[in-house]
Amino acid sequence: VMLGFALTCFLSDYRTYLILGVPQAVWGTESQYSKFPPGLSARMDIITWMGITVWNIAGGVGFILFSGISILPYEVTITDVLVRVIAALYLRARSQGFRMWVDQIESIHHTIWFLRALILFGALKTGASSMSGPTVATTVFGATCVAILLNRFEKINKPK
């Protein structure tokens, strides 16, 4: 449901089509319709832009539900983790739009991390009876390492 709402927010903002290159493809790069409004550039990544469009319509709570909660998979696989960690590192290292956005909403960003940690520990607590002690410890250790790594990337690449 939340991803459908996010898609609606994303598609309802005319600037989305600028980022996707629709006016440039239809009318060419020199057309008046192909010019980016102030504060937006072709270098904005789609993941961050979708979060911004949700924020613009639903505010902080909607953004938390979209980016913090709804993207968590029901069942986690190692492949899932690898794809998500690589995407998160990419955003922190290469996306200027993401870094600027996180800098503007830092407290909400930290709230999302806290909520994800609560969900992880809740899931581990309810599933702990079917998991061995080393599996739980490895999961907590891995999640902590990922959180520290992503936090370091945010600090290193913080906008000046």
For the stretch 17-27, pLDDT in tens is 988 989 989 98
CA contacts within 13 A on the Cβ side of 115 = 17
C-beta separation of 73 from 80 below 8 A: yes
Q: pTM of the full predicted structure?
A: 0.76
Q: What is the pLDDT of residue 130?
A: 66
3-state secondary structure of 23: helix
What does the DSSP assignment read for 131-151?
A: S-HHHHHHHHHHHHHHHHHHH
C-beta separation of 53 from 13 below 8 A: yes
For residues 148 and 68, the model is more confident at 148
Query: Whole-angstrom Cα distance, residue 25 to residue 81?
Result: 35
Place of tokens 């996707």: 20
In this prediction, residue 157 has a pLDDT band, given cuts at 50, 70 and 90, of low
- Residue 41 is classified by DSSP as -
For residues 36 and 25, the model is more confident at 25
Query: Whole-angstrom Cα distance, residue 37 to residue 107?
Result: 27
pLDDT by residue (tens digit) across 48-93? 999 999 999 999 888 888 877 666 777 777 788 888 888 888 888 8
What is the number of other CB atoms lying within 10 angstroms of the CB of residue 2?
Answer: 15
What does the DSSP assignment read for 70-128?
A: ITS-SS--HHHHHHHHHHHHHHHHH-HHHHHHHHHTHHHHHHHHHHHHHHHHHHHHHHG
